[in-house]
C-alpha cells in the first residue's frame, strides 16, 4: 500500500463517515486509490475508536496506527490510550443494584490514570453490549426481572386414538441478568395453563424474582392503556401468593421484552427445530424431550462472555432470588355474583349457601378445584368445599332461615303452587318434584319460577304437556324443559291430559299444593300473634 500523508487519511475518514461518500467518490476527491481507501477504513474499524478521537491524533500516532508494518495491535491501542478494561467484568458488576457506570469508571481511573474519558468509556461499553446483543437496550439487575412470553412456534401432538393433531403452546421465561431460560409446553394459552407454567418456572429457578415482565397476553393482562394496567385476577392472585410484582411490557415497545424475544428465537433454533421430526403423543412426552435439550442449551458457553447461562445464573441471579413459598400456588378463578332469593350463589350449575341476611347482595366469589370462598366487602361470609358434580347444592344449616322467616313477596311456595294449579296437575306435580329434589325446598323456587314463566312464551297447554313428559322422565333442569318446549319433543311422549289423570295428580299424597302452604302460613301467623 503506497503511503499518503496523514492529512489525507483524516480526509478519507471524514468523507466516509461524515459525508457518507462511496469509496469511488473518495478516490476521485482525494486521489487516494480505492484499495487504499478500503484499507484505511478497515484499519479504523479495527481500532474500535470514535472518529472524533482519531481525527484529533497527531501525524506521528496516525503513522503508527495505519501502517501495520510499523505497529502491532497492542501498540495501536497504546497509541490511542485504549487499554480497555474487561468488559465482561464490567457488565457483571453493573447487574448489582446500586452499581453505576460512573462509580466503576472512577475505580478504574484510580488504578489506570491514563484511562480515556468517561464519555469514551460509555461509548465503548455501549459498543461492547451491542456486539453481544444488537437488540439489548436495558441494564438487567441480578434477581430483578423474569421475562415471559410464548414462542410463536407450536409443536404438534397426535391423539393416538383418533389421529387428531393438536398444537402444544411453548412457554418461555428468561432471567434478565443471566439469560437462564425455562421452557414448558402446555395444551393451551389459557390462564390456568399460563399460571401452571409460572409455578413450574419458579420451582425450576428455585426462587422468585422481584418483577414479572409478561407480554400483554389475555392470560395475564385484561387491559393496558395509557400506562394503566388491569391484570387478570387469577394472575394477580398468583403474583400476590409469591410476593412478586407484575410489570407487563408496554404495547409497541419491543425493547421492554427484547430479552425474552431473543430467548424465544434461540429456543426455536436450539430446541424446537431439533424436535421437528419427532412425533409426540402427549404434552408430557414433549416436555421430557424439551427438558433434555434445555439443559444443554443453558450449559452452552456464550462465546463473547466466556460463560454459560447456568454459570451466570449461579453467579448473578440465584443468590438474589426470593425464596419460594412453602406451598405451590393453587389456581383460583374469580367472579362477582348476586345472592339469590334462595340465599345461594350459583357457580358452575351448583349452589353455595350464604347466611340468609345477605339476600340480594353482590358478593365476590373465589374458587379453586377444592374450595369456594364467598366474601362481601373483603370479609369472608361463607366457605364451602368445591362440589365435583354440577347441579348439586352445598347448603350449611347455619345459613338456612327458619321456615316462618322466608316469605318473599315474589318467591314463596303458595304463589308457585297457585300458578302451577292454574296451568294443570302435571305442572303442579313437576313443581313439587323439583322442590323435593333439592337439599332445601327454597333452592327449587328459582327453577320453578323460571319454568312457570315459560307459559307466557309457549302457552299454558304446551307447558302442561312438557311438564308431564318431564315429570315422567325425571327432568328438572330449566334448560332441558325449555328445549322440550322449543322443539316440541314433549309430543313424542303423548301425555294423557284427561280428567282421570288430573284426578290422579290432584289426589297424589306427595303433592301438597297451595292449600297445604296456605295452612302453614296461617299457622305461622297464629304463632307470631
Dump pLDDT digits (tens) for 251-268.
Answer: 656 555 666 778 888 888
| Angle at alpha carbon of residue 265, lines to 167 and 191, rounded to 5° | 45
What are the phi and psi torsion angles at 447 (to 5°)? -65, -40
Confidence band, pLDDT 50/70/90 cuts, at residue 464: very high
Q: What is the reported pLDDT for 36?
A: 84
Q: What is the reported pLDDT for 159?
A: 92
Q: Is 157 exposed, middle or buried (0-12, 13-18, 19+ CB in 10 A)?
A: buried
Which has the minimum average pLDDT: 114-128, 439-453, 495-509?
A: 495-509
> Residue 486's closest CA among 448, 446, 454?
454
Q: What is the reported pLDDT for 128?
A: 76
What does the alpha-carbon distance between residue 201 and residue 528 come to, in Å, rounded to a whole number? 63
What does the alpha-carbon distance between residue 387 and residue 297 come to, in Å, rounded to a whole number? 44
Classified as helix, coil or strand, 32 is coil
Would you say 213 and 245 are in contact if contact means Cβ atoms under 8 Å apart? no
Q: Between the CA of residue 129 and those of 46, 139, 307, 342, 387, what are the distances in Å?
A: 17, 10, 15, 66, 56
Burial 476-490 (b: 16+ CB within 10 A, else e): bebeebbebbeeeeb
**pTM tops 0.85, yes or no:** no
What does the alpha-carbon distance between residue 149 and residue 184 come to, in Å, rounded to a whole number? 11
> Residue 463's closest CA among 471, 154, 218, 282?
471
Q: What stretches of 164-208 adopt beta strand conformation (E)? A: 165-175, 181-186
Q: Between the CA of residue 172 and those of 179, 200, 314, 502, what are the distances in Å?
A: 11, 11, 19, 68
> Residue 345's closest CA among 321, 368, 364?
364
Confidence band, pLDDT 50/70/90 cuts, at residue 71: very low
What are the phi and psi torsion angles at 402 (to 5°)? -70, 150
Which has the minimum average pLDDT: 171-180, 236-245, 338-347, 435-444?
A: 435-444
What does the alpha-carbon distance between residue 412 and residue 224 come to, in Å, rounded to a whole number? 47
Would you say 512 and 416 are in contact if contact means Cβ atoms under 8 Å apart? no
What's the grid cell of residue 148?
Answer: 415471559
Please say if the pLDDT value at position 74 is more than 50: no
What does the alpha-carbon distance between residue 205 and residue 395 come to, in Å, rounded to a whole number? 43
The more confident residue out of 108 and 164 is: 164
**CB atoms < 10 A from the CB of 29, how many?**
13
Would you say 336 and 366 are in contact if contact means Cβ atoms under 8 Å apart? no
Tell me which CATH code domain 145-320 carries.
Answer: 3.30.420.10
Would you say 303 and 219 are in contact if contact means Cβ atoms under 8 Å apart? no
Q: What is the reported pLDDT for 34?
A: 85
Classified as helix, coil or strand, 334 is strand
Which has the minimum average pLDDT: 23-27, 102-106, 150-154, 521-525?
A: 521-525
What does the alpha-carbon distance between residue 109 and residue 436 come to, in Å, rounded to a whole number? 88
What does the alpha-carbon distance between residue 146 and residue 129 come to, in Å, rounded to a whole number? 20
CA atoms within 13 Å, Cβ hemisphere of 157: 18
Would you say 150 and 169 are in contact if contact means Cβ atoms under 8 Å apart? yes
| End-to-end Cα, the chain, rounded Å | 121
Please say if the pLDDT value at position 12 is more than 50: yes
Q: pLDDT per residue over 285-322, tens digit each? A: 999 999 999 999 999 998 777 889 999 999 989 999 99
Tell me which range, 60-74, 184-198, 333-347, 403-417, is most confidently predicted by mean pLDDT: 184-198
Domain-by-domain residue ranges, the chain?
6-80, 87-132, 145-320, 333-400, 405-528
Classified as helix, coil or strand, 259 is helix
Q: What is the reported pLDDT for 403?
A: 58
Would you say 478 and 450 are in contact if contact means Cβ atoms under 8 Å apart? yes
What does the alpha-carbon distance between residue 6 and residue 512 come to, in Å, rounded to a whole number? 114
Q: Locate cell 471524514: which residue?
A: 14
Q: How far is CA 170 from the centre of its chain?
A: 13
Q: Is 356 exposed, middle or buried (0-12, 13-18, 19+ CB in 10 A)?
A: middle
Confidence band, pLDDT 50/70/90 cuts, at residue 480: very high
**CB atoms < 10 A from the CB of 64, how many?**
18
Amino acid at each position: 500500500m503506497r503511503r499518503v500523508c496523514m492529512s489525507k487519511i483524516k480526509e478519507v475518514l471524514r468523507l466516509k463517515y461524515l459525508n457518507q461518500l462511496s469509496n469511488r467518490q473518495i478516490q476521485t476527491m482525494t486521489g487516494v486509490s480505492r484499495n487504499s481507501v478500503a484499507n484505511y477504513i478497515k484499519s479504523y474499524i479495527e481500532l474500535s475508536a470514535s472518529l472524533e478521537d482519531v481525527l484529533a491524533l497527531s501525524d506521528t500516532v496516525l503513522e503508527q496506527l495505519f501502517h501495520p508494518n510499523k505497529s502491532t495491535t497492542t501498540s495501536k491501542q497504546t497509541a490511542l490510550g485504549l487499554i480497555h478494561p474487561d468488559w465482561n467484568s464490567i457488565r457483571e458488576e453493573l447487574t448489582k443494584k446500586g452499581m453505576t457506570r460512573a462509580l466503576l469508571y472512577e475505580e478504574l481511573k484510580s488504578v489506570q490514570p491514563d484511562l480515556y474519558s468517561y464519555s469514551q468509556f460509555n461509548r465503548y461499553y455501549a459498543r461492547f453490549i451491542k456486539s453481544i446483543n444488537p437488540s439489548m437496550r436495558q441494564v438487567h439487575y441480578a434477581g430483578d426481572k423474569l421475562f415471559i412470553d410464548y414462542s410463536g412456534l407450536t409443536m404438534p401432538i397426535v391423539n393416538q386414538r383418533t389421529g387428531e393433531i393438536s398444537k402444544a403452546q411453548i412457554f418461555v421465561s428468561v432471567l434478565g441478568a443471566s439469560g437462564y431460560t425455562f421452557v414448558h409446553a402446555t395444551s393451551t394459552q389459557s390462564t390456568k395453563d399460563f399460571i401452571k407454567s409460572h409455578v413450574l418456572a419458579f420451582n425450576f429457578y428455585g426462587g422468585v424474582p422481584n418483577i414479572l415482565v409478561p407480554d400483554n397476553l389475555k392470560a395475564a393482562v385484561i387491559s393496558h392503556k395509557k400506562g394503566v394496567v388491569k391484570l387478570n385476577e387469577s394472575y394477580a392472585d398468583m403474583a400476590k401468593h409469591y410476593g412478586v410484582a407484575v410489570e407487563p411490557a408496554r404495547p409497541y415497545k419491543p425493547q421492554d421484552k427484547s430479552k425474552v424475544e431473543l430467548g424465544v428465537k434461540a429456543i426455536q433454533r436450539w430446541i424446537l427445530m431439533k424436535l421437528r421430526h419427532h412425533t409426540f403423543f402427549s404434552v408430557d412426552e414433549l416436555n421430557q424431550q424439551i427438558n433434555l435439550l434445555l439443559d444443554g442449551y443453558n450449559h452452552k458457553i456464550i462465546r463473547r462472555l466466556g460463560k454459560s447461562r447456568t454459570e451466570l445464573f449461579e453467579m448473578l441471579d440465584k443468590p438474589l432470588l426470593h425464596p419460594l413459598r412453602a406451598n405451590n400456588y393453587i389456581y383460583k378463578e374469580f367472579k362477582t355474583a348476586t345472592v339469590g332469593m334462595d340465599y345461594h350463589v350459583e357457580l358452575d350449575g351448583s349452589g353455595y349457601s350464604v347466611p340468609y341476611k345477605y339476600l340480594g347482595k353482590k358478593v365476590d366469589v373465589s374458587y379453586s378445584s377444592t374450595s369456594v370462598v364467598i366474601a362481601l366487602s373483603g370479609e369472608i361470609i361463607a366457605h364451602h368445599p368445591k362440589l365435583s358434580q354440577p347441579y348439586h347444592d352445598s347448603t350449611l344449616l347455619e345459613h338456612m332461615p327458619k321456615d316462618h322467616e322466608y316469605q318473599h313477596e315474589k318467591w314463596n311456595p303458595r304463589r308457585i303452587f297457585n300458578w302451577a294449579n292454574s296451568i294443570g296437575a302435571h305442572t303442579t306435580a313437576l313443581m313439587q318434584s323439583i322442590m323435593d329434589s333439592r337439599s332445601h325446598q327454597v333452592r327449587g323456587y328459582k327453577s320453578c319460577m323460571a319454568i312457570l314463566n315459560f307459559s307466557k312464551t309457549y302457552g299454558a297447554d304446551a307447558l302442561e304437556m312438557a311438564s308431564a313428559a318431564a315429570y315422567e322422565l325425571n327432568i328438572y333442569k330449566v334448560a332441558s324443559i325449555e328445549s322440550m318446549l322449543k322443539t316440541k319433543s314433549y309430543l313424542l311422549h303423548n301425555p294423557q291430559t284427561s280428567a282421570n289423570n288430573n284426578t290422579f295428580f290432584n289426589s297424589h299424597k306427595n303433592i301438597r299444593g297451595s292449600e297445604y302452604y296456605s295452612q302453614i302460613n296461617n299457622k305461622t301467623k297464629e304463632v307470631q300473634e
